[in-house]
């Protein structure tokens, strides 16, 4: 999962790209980068948080009315500066690019780019593949007078070649900015507009929260398989280039996106409240009766408060999150992971002691965090702890850019719910039912593959094995 932003504006966009990346920081903390265009590309990127990569001295150097930004969460590829985005090429035209997602035919594409286009992919980051694939298509056109139709033809050819999930924003030097998604629109991308004194400005981003901060009005989501091209005069051209059955990642609503963002016209907070209703019904069927409902901060707030409302049990804030505790970059052992949880979260003993607690989290992946939380709550005096997951059990790897793709690490893929409760030391474990989640999205075609095993793109068992192997290798680098 990554965060991307692109602005085709009227004046220097670097300060806005920087502010936008800060608003998207929750989508990736491993690396950050910005590229702007003003006759040439100017780029700055590095490992770490947005606040550590950029300094005031970069403002004049990165001046330009058009630019892209990226925050990276390493999934495919290693976490090295070489893999940080944006990436750019200067032949046949200057093209710079950012992307969010995961290419599932990486090896095959890398070989064909080398054999057919003599382009050597140097990183393990899949944006390089998409960049070279687009550059190779552009090379087939008369670049001195490339038309809008030809740009869309190039995007369509890339969409046919590149398998997987991707939202991409590219700048083509002296031509314009083009944003496109894979034919199923698995990863999010929204588009906004603002009228400055000098004329219109356009923005593309992973989430709409960025628009609010920067004063852009949300226009719409970029549709599955669509390309939106903004030319140098800020004229907008759109086309559905390659379309398959849409499959938007439902986990965006559960975990990735911030509560104030609007994706496909739905506020993330509102979706979490909607999901809390069937979750509460499932919980009620178990016959359990909590004294209070608490959340694991901060993504589970709307699940917990909504569930408490349905159950007519009080919602309380039982865990405090240390806002200054950053993400631990290297957590090689279970002990280290548990230590990180302990440093991040602290129970409020007066709220917890003597109570039967339903503690709600967005999901359970390995179960190590949940186990530590249960122990923490029991140490704080909880009489009973019921662990509630707003997601159905994760039983299949995500191959579309989410860092949970090793099946042997998924507790629900290997143990029953009773065994999981025993492992955690919880008095009960309750999961959202997959059928309930699917029923909630009967009007928005979504991907549920990590819960159902039904992948929206073509994937052979061999592809799945290779992707899992790549993920294991990346983690061990």
Residue 323 CB, nearest approach to ligand SF4 (Å): 26
Binder of ligand SF4 out of 4, 402, 420, 437 (CB under 6 A)? 402
Residue 449 found at the interface with ligand SF4 (CB under 6 A): yes
Q: Which stretch binds ligand SF4 (CB under 6 A): 117-125, 147-155, 213-221, 442-450?
A: 442-450
In 3D space, the residue among 402, 398, 428 whose CA is nearest the CA of residue 413 turns out to be 398
DSSP assignments along 188-216, one per residue: --EEEEEEETTEEEEEEES-THHHHHHTP
Would you mind telling me the total number of residues written for the chain in this entry?
477
In 3D space, the residue among 385, 406, 382 whose CA is nearest the CA of residue 394 turns out to be 406
Residue 459 CB, nearest approach to ligand SF4 (Å): 11
Residue 450 found at the interface with ligand SF4 (CB under 6 A): yes
Restricted to residues 166-195, the positions that interact with ligand SF4 (CB under 6 A) are 186
Binder of ligand SF4 out of 400, 437, 441, 464 (CB under 6 A)? 400
Binder of ligand SF4 out of 13, 84, 304, 447 (CB under 6 A)? 447
Question: Pattern of binders to ligand SF4 over 227-266, x per CB under 6 A?
Answer: ----------------------xxx---------------
In 3D space, the residue among 208, 233, 253, 254 whose CA is nearest the CA of residue 23 turns out to be 208
In 3D space, the residue among 150, 149, 191 whose CA is nearest the CA of residue 167 turns out to be 191
Alpha-helix residue ranges (DSSP H) falling in 139-239: 148-161, 209-214
Q: Exactly one of 2, 125, 241, 450 is catalytic; which is it?
A: 2
**DSSP class of residue 222?**
P
342: its two tokens: 């302990």
Compute the half-sphere exposure of residue 140: CA atoms within 13 Å on the CB side of its CA. Answer: 14
Measured distance CA(79)–CA(191) in Å, rounded: 29
Residue 131 CB, nearest approach to ligand SF4 (Å): 22
Residue 23 found at the interface with ligand SF4 (CB under 6 A): no
Q: Which stretch binds ligand SF4 (CB under 6 A): 89-97, 129-137, 192-200, 448-456?
A: 448-456
343: its two tokens: 């440093």
2 among known catalytic residues: yes
Measured distance CA(123)–CA(113) in Å, rounded: 13
C-alpha distance from residue 363 to each of 148, 325, 392, 430 (Å): 44, 21, 8, 11
Restricted to residues 46-105, the positions that interact with ligand SF4 (CB under 6 A) are none
Q: Which stretch binds ligand SF4 (CB under 6 A): 17-25, 225-233, 355-363, 445-453?
A: 445-453
Nearer to ligand SF4, 345 or 410 (CB): 410
Residue 221 CB, nearest approach to ligand SF4 (Å): 16
Measured distance CA(308)–CA(305) in Å, rounded: 5
- Helix (H) and strand (E) counts for the chain? 18, 23
Residue 24 found at the interface with ligand SF4 (CB under 6 A): no
Residue 467 CB, nearest approach to ligand SF4 (Å): 12
Q: Which stretch binds ligand SF4 (CB under 6 A): 196-204, 224-232, 319-327, 444-452?
A: 444-452
**Angle CA(402)–CA(405)–CA(406) in degrees, nearest 5?**
155
Residue 382 found at the interface with ligand SF4 (CB under 6 A): no
E-assigned strands of 51-175? 66-72, 87-89, 95-103, 164-172
Residue 414 CB, nearest approach to ligand SF4 (Å): 18
Catalytic (active-site) positions: 2
The footprint of ligand SF4 (CB under 6 A) covers 186, 249-251, 398, 400, 402, 447-450
């Amino acid at each position: 999962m990554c965060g991307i932003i692109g602005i085709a504006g009227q004046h220097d966009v670097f300060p806005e790209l920087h502010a936008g990346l800060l608003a998207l920081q929750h989508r990736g903390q491993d690396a950050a980068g910005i590229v702007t265009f003003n006759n040439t590309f100017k780029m700055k990127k590095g490992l770490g948080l947005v606040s550590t990569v950029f300094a005031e001295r970069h403002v004049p150097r990165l001046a330009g009315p058009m630019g892209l930004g990226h925050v990276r969460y390493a999934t495919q590829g290693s976490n090295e500066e070489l893999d940080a985005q944006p990436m750019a090429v200067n032949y046949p035209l200057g093209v710079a690019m950012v992307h969010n997602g995961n290419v599932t035919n990486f090896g095959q594409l890398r070989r064909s780019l080398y054999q057919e286009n003599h382009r050597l992919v140097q990183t393990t980051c899949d944006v390089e593949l998409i960049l070279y694939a687009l550059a190779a298509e552009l090379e087939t056109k008369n670049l001195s007078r490339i038309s809008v139709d030809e740009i869309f033809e190039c995007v369509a050819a890339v969409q046919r070649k590149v398998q997987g999930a991707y939202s991409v924003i590219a700048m083509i030097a002296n031509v314009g900015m083009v944003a496109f998604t894979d034919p199923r629109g698995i990863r999010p991308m929204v588009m906004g507009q603002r009228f400055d004194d000098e004329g219109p400005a356009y923005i593309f981003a992973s989430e709409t929260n960025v628009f609010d901060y920067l004063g852009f009005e949300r226009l719409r989501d970029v549709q599955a398989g669509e390309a939106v091209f903004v030319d140098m005069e800020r004229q907008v051209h759109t086309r559905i280039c390659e379309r398959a059955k849409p499959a938007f990642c439902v986990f965006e609503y559960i975990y990735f996106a911030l509560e104030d963002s609007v994706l496909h016209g739905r506020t993330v907070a509102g979706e979490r409240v909607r999901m809390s209703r069937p979750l509460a019904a499932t919980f009620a069927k178990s016959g359990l009766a909590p004294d209070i409902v608490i959340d694991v901060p901060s993504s589970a707030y709307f699940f917990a408060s909504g569930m408490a409302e349905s159950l007519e049990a009080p919602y309380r804030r039982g865990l405090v999150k240390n806002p200054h505790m950053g993400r631990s970059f290297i957590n090689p052992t279970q002990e280290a992971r548990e230590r990180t949880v302990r440093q991040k979260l602290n129970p409020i003993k007066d709220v917890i002691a003597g109570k039967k607690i339903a503690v709600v989290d967005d999901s359970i992946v390995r179960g190590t965090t949940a186990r530590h939380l249960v122990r923490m709550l029991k140490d704080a005096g909880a009489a009973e702890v019921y662990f509630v997951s707003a997601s159905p059990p994760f039983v299949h790897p995500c191959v579309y850019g989410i860092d949970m793709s090793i099946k042997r690490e998924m507790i629900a893929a290997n143990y029953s719910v009773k065994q999981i409760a025993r492992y955690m030391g919880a008095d009960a474990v309750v999961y959202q039912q997959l059928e309930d989640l699917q029923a909630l999205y009967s009007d928005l075609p979504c991907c549920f593959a990590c819960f159902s095993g039904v992948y929206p793109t073509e994937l052979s068992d061999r592809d799945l094995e290779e992707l899992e192997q790549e993920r294991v290798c990346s983690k061990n680098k």
